[in-house]
C-alpha cells in the first residue's frame, strides 16, 4: 500500500487538448480542463499548450482548484543540435518549472524522432549510432547538472518512435549516463505498446524512477496499428491509448512494486485519445476510481 504522504496523483491535459495534434480538443478551454481534473479527484497536472505561461496567473488558477504543477515535457535535440542550443532552451523551461514548484523535468530526445511523421511507428523507429549515443549521454548528464542547480532532477521519457523506445534502448541509456544525474520516467503505455514487459523495466530501474506516467493500451487496436502500418499520431486517433483500468494492462503489480519500494513522487495519468470519442472528464473519473480500487489511494 502506498503511504499517502509519499505519492501524489496527477493527470495530464493531453486528454482534453492534445499538444501533438492541437486540433484534437481545440474547443476545450484551460479552465474547463483543470476544473475537470480537480473534480475527478486529481491534485496535479503537467503543462499543456493552453496553460498560461505567466507564473502568478497559472499558480492562481491552479491553487483555486487545489492543484499544482507536477512537471512538463521538454523536447531535447541532443543528437541533432548543438548542445549549447538545447541547454539554453532547457534553462528557460527549468526556470519556469522551478517557479511553479515542480521537482522533476521530463526530457525526451526528439532528434531523429518519427513521433510526428506519417510513417509506420512500429517499423521505422530510429536507431542511434555511436556518435548519437555519445551526444545524447553527454548532453543528458549536462541537463541533469543544470536541473540540480535548482535542486531538481531530469527524468528521461522513453517514447514510441524515438531512439529510446525499447528495453534494450533504456538499458543502454541507463548504463551510459550518470545515475546521480539522469533519472527515468516510467511510462507504462509506451512500453506496453512497444511490446516490452513494463514490469521488468520497473523492477530493474526502481531506484532511478522518479516520475510515473500511467497509460493503458487497447491491445486489439495496437495490433491493428501494427498490421496497417499506422503512424504514432494515427494510432492515438484510433484509440490505442486509454486510462488505467480501461485497457489491457494490469497495473496491480506496478502499484505493488512502487509502493513496496517506497517510491516518492507523482503518479500521473496520461491517456491521450480523441476527446470527441472519449469524454475527458468521464475517463478521468474512470482512472481515479481504478487507482482508488487497485492502489488504495
Ligand X SMILES: O=C1C[C@@H](O)[C@H](O)[C@@H](O)C1=O
Q: For residues 135 and 202, which CB has a smaller minimum distance to Co ion in the complex? A: 202
Q: How many Cβ atoms from other residues are within 10 Å of residue 277's Cβ?
A: 10
Rounded-to-integer distance, Cα 63 and Cα 297, Å: 21
Q: Where are the beta strands (DSSP E) in the chain?
A: 7-11, 44-46, 68-71, 73-76, 104-109, 153-157, 182-187, 209-214, 216-217, 241-242, 265-269
Is residue 213 near Co ion by the rule CB under 5 A? yes
Other beta carbons within 10 angstroms of residue 64's beta carbon come to 12
Site string for Co ion, 130-169 (x = CB under 5 A): ----------------------------------------
Nearer to Co ion, 142 or 213 (CB): 213
Residue 284 CB-density burial (10 A; 0-12 exposed, 13-18 middle, 19+ buried): buried
Is 216 a binding residue for Co ion by CB under 5 A? The answer is no
Query: 195: which 3 cell numbers?
Result: 511490446
At residue 263, φ and ψ (nearest 5 deg) are -55, 135
End-to-end Cα distance, the chain: 8
What is the smallest separation between the CB atom of 14 and ligand X, expressed in angstroms? Answer: 6
| Nearer residue to ligand X within complex by CB, 213 or 218 | 213
Nearer to ligand X, 135 or 158 (CB): 158
Residue 89 interacting entry, from Co ion, ligand X, none, C-beta within 5 to 8 Å by type: none
From the number of C-beta atoms within 10 Å of its C-beta (0-12, 13-18, 19+), residue 26 rates as exposed
- Scan residues 255-284 and list those touching ligand X (CB under 6 A): 270, 272
157 lines the binding site for ligand X (CB under 6 A): yes
Which residue in the set 16, 42, 73, 249 belongs to the binding site for ligand X (CB under 6 A)? Answer: 73
> Residue 20's binding partner, choosing from Co ion, ligand X, none, with beta-carbon cut-off 5 to 8 A by kind?
ligand X
State the number of binding residues for ligand X (CB under 6 A).
Answer: 10
**What are the residues binding ligand X (CB under 6 A)?**
14, 19-20, 73, 157, 187, 190, 213, 270, 272
Amino acid at each position: 500500500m502506498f503511504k499517502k504522504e509519499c505519492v501524489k496523483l496527477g493527470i495530464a491535459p493531453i486528454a482534453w487538448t492534445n499538444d501533438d495534434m492541437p486540433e484534437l480538443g481545440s474547443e476545450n478551454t484551460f479552465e474547463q480542463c483543470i476544473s475537470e481534473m480537480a473534480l475527478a479527484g486529481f491534485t496535479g497536472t503537467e503543462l499543456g499548450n493552453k496553460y498560461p505561461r505567466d507564473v502568478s496567473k497559472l499558480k492562481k488558477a491552479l491553487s483555486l482548484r487545489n492543484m499544482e504543477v507536477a512537471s512538463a515535457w521538454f523536447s531535447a535535440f541532443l543528437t541533432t543540435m548543438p548542445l549549447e542550443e538545447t541547454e539554453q532552451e532547457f534553462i528557460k523551461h527549468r526556470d519556469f518549472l522551478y517557479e511553479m514548484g515542480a521537482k522533476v523535468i521530463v526530457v525526451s530526445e526528439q532528434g531523429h524522432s518519427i513521433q510526428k511523421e506519417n510513417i509506420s511507428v512500429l517499423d521505422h523507429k530510429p536507431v542511434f549510432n555511436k556518435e548519437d549515443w555519445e551526444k545524447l549521454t553527454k548532453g543528458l548528464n549536462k541537463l541533469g547538472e543544470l536541473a540540480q542547480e535548482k535542486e531538481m532532477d531530469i527524468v528521461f521519457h522513453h517514447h514510441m518512435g524515438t531512439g529510446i523506445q525499447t528495453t534494450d534502448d533504456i538499458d543502454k541509456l541507463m548504463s551510459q549516463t550518470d545515475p546521480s544525474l539522469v533519472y527515468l520516467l516510467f511510462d507504462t503505455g509506451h512500453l506496453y505498446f512497444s511490446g516490452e514487459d513494463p514490469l521488468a523495466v520497473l523492477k530493474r530501474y526502481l531506484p532511478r524512477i522518479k516520475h510515473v506516467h500511467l497509460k493503458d493500451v487497447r491491445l486489439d487496436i495496437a495490433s491493428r496499428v501494427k498490421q496497417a502500418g499506422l503512424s504514432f499520431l494515427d494510432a492515438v486517433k484510433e484509440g490505442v491509448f486509454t486510462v488505467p483500468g480501461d485497457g489491457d494492462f494490469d497495473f496491480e503489480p506496478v502499484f505493488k512494486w512502487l509502493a513496496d519500494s517506497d517510491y516518492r513522487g507523482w503518479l500521473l495519468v496520461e491517456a491521450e485519445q480523441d476527446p470527441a470519442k472519449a469524454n475527458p472528464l468521464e475517463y478521468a473519473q474512470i482512472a481515479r476510481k481504478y487507482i482508488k480500487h487497485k492502489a488504495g489511494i
